[in-house]
Structure 1
Amino acid sequence: GEADKLTQTRRALQWNFILAAIIIYLLMSGLFSNFVYPFIILFTLPLAAAGGFIGLKLVNMFVNPQPLDILTMLGFVILIGVVVNNAILIVHQSLNNIRLGGMDYREAVLEATRLRLRPIYMTTFTSIFGMLPLVISPGPGSEIYRGLGSVILGGLALSSIFVIFVIPSLLMFFIKMERKN
Protein backbone atom coordinates (compact mmCIF):
# COMPACT_ATOMS: atom_id res chain seq x y z
CA GLY A 1 0.00 0.00 0.00
CA GLU A 2 1.29 3.34 1.16
CA ALA A 3 4.70 2.02 2.28
CA ASP A 4 5.31 0.48 -1.15
CA LYS A 5 4.50 3.79 -2.86
CA LEU A 6 6.89 5.60 -0.53
CA THR A 7 9.64 3.08 -1.27
CA GLN A 8 9.06 3.44 -5.02
CA THR A 9 9.17 7.22 -4.75
CA ARG A 10 12.42 7.08 -2.76
CA ARG A 11 14.00 4.87 -5.41
CA ALA A 12 12.81 7.22 -8.14
CA LEU A 13 14.28 10.22 -6.32
CA GLN A 14 17.59 8.40 -5.85
CA TRP A 15 17.75 7.73 -9.57
CA ASN A 16 16.73 11.34 -10.26
CA PHE A 17 19.62 12.48 -8.06
CA ILE A 18 22.07 10.36 -10.06
CA LEU A 19 20.49 11.37 -13.37
CA ALA A 20 20.72 15.07 -12.45
CA ALA A 21 24.43 14.69 -11.65
CA ILE A 22 25.06 12.90 -14.96
CA ILE A 23 23.17 15.51 -16.98
CA ILE A 24 25.04 18.33 -15.24
CA TYR A 25 28.34 16.55 -15.95
CA LEU A 26 27.52 16.14 -19.64
CA LEU A 27 26.40 19.77 -20.00
CA MET A 28 29.56 21.03 -18.34
CA SER A 29 31.73 18.73 -20.45
CA GLY A 30 30.26 20.39 -23.51
CA LEU A 31 30.63 23.87 -22.02
CA PHE A 32 34.28 23.45 -21.08
CA SER A 33 35.23 21.07 -23.95
CA ASN A 34 36.99 19.03 -21.29
CA PHE A 35 36.08 15.98 -19.23
CA VAL A 36 38.17 16.84 -16.14
CA TYR A 37 36.84 20.29 -15.19
CA PRO A 38 33.28 19.02 -14.62
CA PHE A 39 34.62 16.51 -12.08
CA ILE A 40 36.20 19.38 -10.18
CA ILE A 41 32.85 21.16 -10.14
CA LEU A 42 30.94 18.02 -9.18
CA PHE A 43 33.25 17.61 -6.21
CA THR A 44 31.02 20.20 -4.53
CA LEU A 45 28.13 17.71 -4.49
CA PRO A 46 29.41 15.49 -1.64
CA LEU A 47 30.21 18.64 0.34
CA ALA A 48 26.71 19.96 -0.28
CA ALA A 49 25.14 16.61 0.62
CA ALA A 50 27.10 16.57 3.87
CA GLY A 51 25.88 20.10 4.56
CA GLY A 52 22.33 19.02 3.78
CA PHE A 53 22.52 16.20 6.31
CA ILE A 54 24.09 18.54 8.88
CA GLY A 55 21.29 21.06 8.29
CA LEU A 56 18.70 18.32 8.74
CA LYS A 57 20.40 17.13 11.92
CA LEU A 58 20.47 20.66 13.35
CA VAL A 59 16.76 21.10 12.61
CA ASN A 60 16.08 17.79 14.34
CA MET A 61 18.08 18.89 17.38
CA PHE A 62 16.90 22.48 17.78
CA VAL A 63 13.59 23.02 15.97
CA ASN A 64 11.42 19.93 15.44
CA PRO A 65 12.19 16.38 14.38
CA GLN A 66 12.00 16.18 10.60
CA PRO A 67 11.86 12.81 8.82
CA LEU A 68 13.76 12.07 5.63
CA ASP A 69 10.56 12.29 3.60
CA ILE A 70 9.97 12.90 -0.10
CA LEU A 71 10.19 16.70 0.07
CA THR A 72 13.38 16.48 2.11
CA MET A 73 14.90 14.18 -0.51
CA LEU A 74 13.72 16.58 -3.19
CA GLY A 75 15.81 19.20 -1.40
CA PHE A 76 18.92 17.16 -2.22
CA VAL A 77 17.96 17.06 -5.91
CA ILE A 78 17.41 20.84 -5.91
CA LEU A 79 20.73 21.26 -4.13
CA ILE A 80 22.56 19.63 -7.06
CA GLY A 81 21.45 22.33 -9.46
CA VAL A 82 22.10 25.19 -7.07
CA VAL A 83 25.47 24.21 -5.60
CA VAL A 84 27.39 23.68 -8.83
CA ASN A 85 26.83 27.31 -9.86
CA ASN A 86 29.48 28.70 -7.51
CA ALA A 87 32.12 26.24 -8.70
CA ILE A 88 31.21 26.92 -12.33
CA LEU A 89 31.82 30.64 -11.75
CA ILE A 90 35.33 30.01 -10.45
CA VAL A 91 36.32 27.43 -13.07
CA HIS A 92 34.90 29.42 -15.98
CA GLN A 93 36.51 32.69 -14.87
CA SER A 94 39.84 30.93 -14.30
CA LEU A 95 39.82 29.42 -17.78
CA ASN A 96 38.89 32.79 -19.29
CA ASN A 97 41.78 34.41 -17.42
CA ILE A 98 44.16 31.81 -18.85
CA ARG A 99 42.83 31.77 -22.41
CA LEU A 100 41.90 35.41 -22.93
CA GLY A 101 43.99 37.18 -20.31
CA GLY A 102 47.17 35.21 -20.87
CA MET A 103 47.69 34.74 -17.15
CA ASP A 104 49.68 32.02 -15.47
CA TYR A 105 47.34 29.31 -14.16
CA ARG A 106 47.98 30.10 -10.49
CA GLU A 107 47.46 33.79 -10.98
CA ALA A 108 44.35 33.10 -13.10
CA VAL A 109 42.73 30.87 -10.47
CA LEU A 110 43.51 33.23 -7.60
CA GLU A 111 42.22 36.22 -9.55
CA ALA A 112 39.05 34.35 -10.54
CA THR A 113 38.45 33.39 -6.92
CA ARG A 114 38.98 36.97 -5.81
CA LEU A 115 36.68 38.34 -8.53
CA ARG A 116 33.91 35.81 -7.91
CA LEU A 117 34.02 35.84 -4.12
CA ARG A 118 31.51 38.65 -3.71
CA PRO A 119 28.93 37.34 -6.25
CA ILE A 120 29.20 33.85 -4.77
CA TYR A 121 28.56 35.02 -1.23
CA MET A 122 25.84 37.48 -2.26
CA THR A 123 23.82 34.80 -4.04
CA THR A 124 24.51 32.24 -1.32
CA PHE A 125 23.42 34.55 1.49
CA THR A 126 20.33 35.55 -0.49
CA SER A 127 19.38 31.90 -0.90
CA ILE A 128 20.18 31.05 2.72
CA PHE A 129 18.11 33.93 4.09
CA GLY A 130 15.34 33.03 1.64
CA MET A 131 15.24 29.47 3.00
CA LEU A 132 15.46 30.51 6.65
CA PRO A 133 11.71 31.17 7.06
CA LEU A 134 10.98 27.66 5.74
CA VAL A 135 13.19 26.22 8.46
CA ILE A 136 12.36 28.28 11.53
CA SER A 137 8.78 29.46 10.99
CA PRO A 138 6.29 27.92 13.40
CA GLY A 139 2.68 27.32 12.60
CA PRO A 140 0.38 24.82 10.99
CA GLY A 141 1.82 23.24 7.87
CA SER A 142 5.32 24.59 8.39
CA GLU A 143 6.72 21.13 8.98
CA ILE A 144 5.92 20.14 5.40
CA TYR A 145 8.73 22.22 3.86
CA ARG A 146 11.07 22.38 6.86
CA GLY A 147 13.13 19.39 5.70
CA LEU A 148 13.49 20.75 2.19
CA GLY A 149 14.57 24.14 3.50
CA SER A 150 17.03 22.72 6.02
CA VAL A 151 18.72 20.53 3.42
CA ILE A 152 19.13 23.39 0.96
CA LEU A 153 20.20 25.83 3.68
CA GLY A 154 22.78 23.44 5.18
CA GLY A 155 24.08 22.33 1.79
CA LEU A 156 24.51 25.87 0.53
CA ALA A 157 26.17 27.04 3.73
CA LEU A 158 28.75 24.25 3.87
CA SER A 159 29.50 24.09 0.16
CA SER A 160 29.92 27.85 -0.17
CA ILE A 161 32.61 27.78 2.50
CA PHE A 162 34.49 24.93 0.88
CA VAL A 163 34.06 26.06 -2.73
CA ILE A 164 36.32 29.05 -2.06
CA PHE A 165 39.15 26.81 -0.85
CA VAL A 166 38.70 23.37 -2.39
CA ILE A 167 37.73 24.21 -5.98
CA PRO A 168 40.66 26.60 -6.63
CA SER A 169 43.10 24.07 -5.12
CA LEU A 170 41.74 21.21 -7.23
CA LEU A 171 41.68 23.39 -10.33
CA MET A 172 45.32 24.44 -9.88
CA PHE A 173 46.31 20.81 -9.31
CA PHE A 174 44.58 19.54 -12.46
CA ILE A 175 45.80 22.39 -14.65
CA LYS A 176 49.33 21.71 -13.42
CA MET A 177 48.91 18.00 -14.26
CA GLU A 178 47.58 18.89 -17.73
CA ARG A 179 50.56 21.13 -18.41
CA LYS A 180 53.04 18.45 -17.35
CA ASN A 181 51.52 16.03 -19.84
Structure 2
Amino acid sequence: MTVMAERTSSQMSLDVFERIAAFAEREDETVRLEFIGGRIGVGKVTNGNHGSIIMWLIRQCMRARPDLDLNPTQGLKVEAYRRGRARPDGVLAPVGHFAGQGDWAETDGVLMVLEITSYDSDTHLRDRVEKPRGYAEAGIPVYLLIDRDSLSVLVHSDPDPEDGYRDIHVVKLGGKVALPDPVGIELDTEELKDYLD
Protein backbone atom coordinates (compact mmCIF):
# COMPACT_ATOMS: atom_id res chain seq x y z
CA MET A 1 0.00 0.00 0.00
CA THR A 2 1.23 3.50 -0.81
CA VAL A 3 0.29 6.69 0.96
CA MET A 4 1.07 10.03 -0.67
CA ALA A 5 1.70 13.16 1.40
CA GLU A 6 1.50 16.56 -0.27
CA ARG A 7 4.72 18.58 -0.21
CA THR A 8 5.80 21.53 -2.28
CA SER A 9 9.34 21.63 -3.55
CA SER A 10 10.00 24.73 -1.39
CA GLN A 11 9.08 22.78 1.74
CA MET A 12 11.57 19.98 1.25
CA SER A 13 14.85 19.86 -0.60
CA LEU A 14 15.94 16.76 -2.48
CA ASP A 15 18.87 16.40 -0.12
CA VAL A 16 16.51 16.20 2.86
CA PHE A 17 14.24 13.75 1.03
CA GLU A 18 17.17 11.50 0.10
CA ARG A 19 18.41 11.44 3.70
CA ILE A 20 14.94 10.57 4.99
CA ALA A 21 14.53 7.87 2.33
CA ALA A 22 17.92 6.33 3.10
CA PHE A 23 17.16 6.24 6.83
CA ALA A 24 13.63 4.83 6.43
CA GLU A 25 14.68 2.12 4.00
CA ARG A 26 17.68 1.17 6.17
CA GLU A 27 15.52 0.91 9.31
CA ASP A 28 12.63 -0.95 7.67
CA GLU A 29 13.38 -2.83 4.46
CA THR A 30 9.65 -3.13 3.72
CA VAL A 31 9.35 0.65 3.21
CA ARG A 32 9.98 2.36 -0.15
CA LEU A 33 9.93 6.15 -0.51
CA GLU A 34 9.49 8.25 -3.66
CA PHE A 35 9.24 11.97 -4.38
CA ILE A 36 7.05 12.55 -7.46
CA GLY A 37 5.18 15.72 -8.38
CA GLY A 38 6.25 17.41 -5.14
CA ARG A 39 4.70 14.60 -3.08
CA ILE A 40 6.31 11.98 -0.88
CA GLY A 41 5.07 8.47 -1.55
CA VAL A 42 5.45 5.91 1.21
CA GLY A 43 4.92 2.35 0.06
CA LYS A 44 5.13 -1.00 1.75
CA VAL A 45 6.71 -3.83 -0.20
CA THR A 46 3.87 -5.63 -1.93
CA ASN A 47 2.58 -9.20 -1.93
CA GLY A 48 4.08 -12.35 -3.44
CA ASN A 49 2.18 -12.07 -6.71
CA HIS A 50 3.61 -8.61 -7.30
CA GLY A 51 7.10 -10.04 -6.78
CA SER A 52 6.30 -13.03 -9.00
CA ILE A 53 5.40 -10.68 -11.86
CA ILE A 54 8.73 -8.89 -11.48
CA MET A 55 10.64 -12.18 -11.43
CA TRP A 56 8.71 -13.39 -14.50
CA LEU A 57 9.72 -10.29 -16.41
CA ILE A 58 13.34 -10.55 -15.25
CA ARG A 59 13.47 -14.11 -16.69
CA GLN A 60 11.89 -12.97 -19.98
CA CYS A 61 14.40 -10.14 -20.35
CA MET A 62 17.38 -12.37 -19.52
CA ARG A 63 16.33 -14.93 -22.15
CA ALA A 64 15.65 -12.39 -24.90
CA ARG A 65 18.34 -9.81 -24.11
CA PRO A 66 21.21 -11.17 -21.97
CA ASP A 67 22.99 -7.85 -22.57
CA LEU A 68 20.42 -6.10 -20.34
CA ASP A 69 19.53 -6.18 -16.64
CA LEU A 70 16.08 -5.54 -15.19
CA ASN A 71 16.90 -4.04 -11.80
CA PRO A 72 14.03 -4.18 -9.25
CA THR A 73 15.68 -1.89 -6.69
CA GLN A 74 17.25 1.03 -8.57
CA GLY A 75 15.91 4.51 -7.84
CA LEU A 76 15.84 7.13 -10.60
CA LYS A 77 16.04 10.91 -10.84
CA VAL A 78 12.96 11.97 -12.81
CA GLU A 79 10.93 15.08 -13.66
CA ALA A 80 12.15 18.47 -14.84
CA TYR A 81 15.47 19.56 -13.41
CA ARG A 82 15.76 16.19 -11.62
CA ARG A 83 13.40 17.32 -8.84
CA GLY A 84 11.71 13.93 -8.52
CA ARG A 85 12.82 10.54 -7.25
CA ALA A 86 11.10 7.30 -8.30
CA ARG A 87 11.60 3.66 -7.38
CA PRO A 88 10.12 1.74 -10.31
CA ASP A 89 9.28 -1.94 -9.95
CA GLY A 90 11.98 -2.53 -12.55
CA VAL A 91 14.53 -0.52 -14.53
CA LEU A 92 15.92 -2.02 -17.76
CA ALA A 93 19.42 -0.92 -18.77
CA PRO A 94 22.64 -2.44 -20.13
CA VAL A 95 24.43 -4.85 -17.80
CA GLY A 96 26.53 -2.93 -15.28
CA HIS A 97 24.94 0.41 -16.21
CA PHE A 98 24.18 1.43 -12.62
CA ALA A 99 27.54 0.49 -11.11
CA GLY A 100 28.74 3.35 -8.93
CA GLN A 101 25.61 5.49 -9.40
CA GLY A 102 24.16 5.12 -5.92
CA ASP A 103 20.52 4.93 -4.81
CA TRP A 104 19.24 7.58 -7.25
CA ALA A 105 20.66 7.26 -10.77
CA GLU A 106 20.34 9.51 -13.80
CA THR A 107 17.95 8.22 -16.47
CA ASP A 108 20.46 8.47 -19.33
CA GLY A 109 20.89 4.96 -20.75
CA VAL A 110 17.69 3.59 -19.20
CA LEU A 111 15.72 1.72 -21.88
CA MET A 112 12.52 0.92 -19.98
CA VAL A 113 10.83 1.22 -16.60
CA LEU A 114 8.26 -1.21 -15.22
CA GLU A 115 5.39 -0.52 -12.85
CA ILE A 116 2.79 -2.97 -11.57
CA THR A 117 -0.42 -1.54 -10.19
CA SER A 118 -1.12 -2.07 -6.51
CA TYR A 119 -4.52 -2.59 -4.97
CA ASP A 120 -4.69 0.79 -3.22
CA SER A 121 -6.54 4.06 -3.69
CA ASP A 122 -3.51 5.96 -5.00
CA THR A 123 -2.49 3.60 -7.81
CA HIS A 124 -4.42 5.52 -10.50
CA LEU A 125 -2.75 8.86 -9.82
CA ARG A 126 0.67 7.34 -9.14
CA ASP A 127 1.03 4.63 -11.84
CA ARG A 128 -1.28 5.93 -14.59
CA VAL A 129 -0.73 9.71 -14.35
CA GLU A 130 2.28 10.96 -12.37
CA LYS A 131 4.88 8.32 -13.13
CA PRO A 132 4.25 8.17 -16.90
CA ARG A 133 4.53 11.96 -17.01
CA GLY A 134 7.79 11.91 -15.04
CA TYR A 135 9.28 9.03 -17.05
CA ALA A 136 8.40 10.66 -20.39
CA GLU A 137 9.79 13.99 -19.20
CA ALA A 138 13.03 12.20 -18.31
CA GLY A 139 13.20 10.74 -21.84
CA ILE A 140 12.88 7.06 -20.89
CA PRO A 141 11.99 5.34 -24.19
CA VAL A 142 9.53 2.71 -22.87
CA TYR A 143 7.22 2.60 -19.84
CA LEU A 144 5.64 -0.81 -19.25
CA LEU A 145 2.61 -0.82 -16.95
CA ILE A 146 1.11 -4.12 -15.86
CA ASP A 147 -2.36 -3.05 -14.77
CA ARG A 148 -3.87 -5.73 -12.57
CA ASP A 149 -7.14 -3.78 -12.23
CA SER A 150 -7.90 -3.71 -15.95
CA LEU A 151 -6.14 -7.06 -16.62
CA SER A 152 -4.01 -5.31 -19.23
CA VAL A 153 -0.44 -4.58 -20.21
CA LEU A 154 0.16 -1.02 -21.39
CA VAL A 155 3.27 -0.18 -23.40
CA HIS A 156 4.01 3.55 -23.43
CA SER A 157 6.57 4.72 -26.00
CA ASP A 158 7.66 7.77 -28.00
CA PRO A 159 8.21 10.07 -24.99
CA ASP A 160 7.74 13.80 -25.31
CA PRO A 161 8.97 16.00 -22.42
CA GLU A 162 5.87 18.18 -22.58
CA ASP A 163 3.10 15.86 -23.79
CA GLY A 164 4.07 12.57 -22.12
CA TYR A 165 4.15 9.32 -24.07
CA ARG A 166 2.60 9.80 -27.52
CA ASP A 167 2.00 6.08 -28.16
CA ILE A 168 0.20 3.80 -25.71
CA HIS A 169 -0.45 0.23 -26.84
CA VAL A 170 -2.86 -1.85 -24.70
CA VAL A 171 -2.97 -5.67 -24.68
CA LYS A 172 -5.24 -7.78 -22.48
CA LEU A 173 -3.40 -10.21 -20.18
CA GLY A 174 -2.90 -13.49 -22.02
CA GLY A 175 -1.98 -11.79 -25.29
CA LYS A 176 1.38 -11.14 -26.88
CA VAL A 177 2.92 -7.71 -26.57
CA ALA A 178 5.92 -6.24 -28.40
CA LEU A 179 8.20 -3.92 -26.46
CA PRO A 180 9.50 -1.50 -29.11
CA ASP A 181 13.08 -0.49 -29.75
CA PRO A 182 15.39 0.07 -28.02
CA VAL A 183 14.02 -2.85 -25.94
CA GLY A 184 13.02 -5.16 -28.81
CA ILE A 185 11.42 -7.97 -26.80
CA GLU A 186 8.12 -9.78 -27.39
CA LEU A 187 6.27 -11.04 -24.32
CA ASP A 188 3.61 -13.74 -24.09
CA THR A 189 1.60 -12.60 -21.06
CA GLU A 190 -0.49 -15.77 -20.58
CA GLU A 191 1.44 -16.74 -17.40
CA LEU A 192 0.67 -13.38 -15.79
CA LYS A 193 -2.95 -14.46 -15.34
CA ASP A 194 -1.69 -16.68 -12.49
CA TYR A 195 -0.53 -13.62 -10.50
CA LEU A 196 -3.62 -11.45 -10.26
CA ASP A 197 -4.68 -11.33 -6.60
Common fold, TM-score beyond 0.5? no
The structure whose residues are more often helix, as a share, is 1
TM-score tier, shorter chain, comes to: under 0.3
Higher relative contact order (CA 8 A, sep 6+): 1
Greater C-alpha Rg: 1
Q: What TM-score results when the alignment is normalised by the length of structure 1? A: 0.28
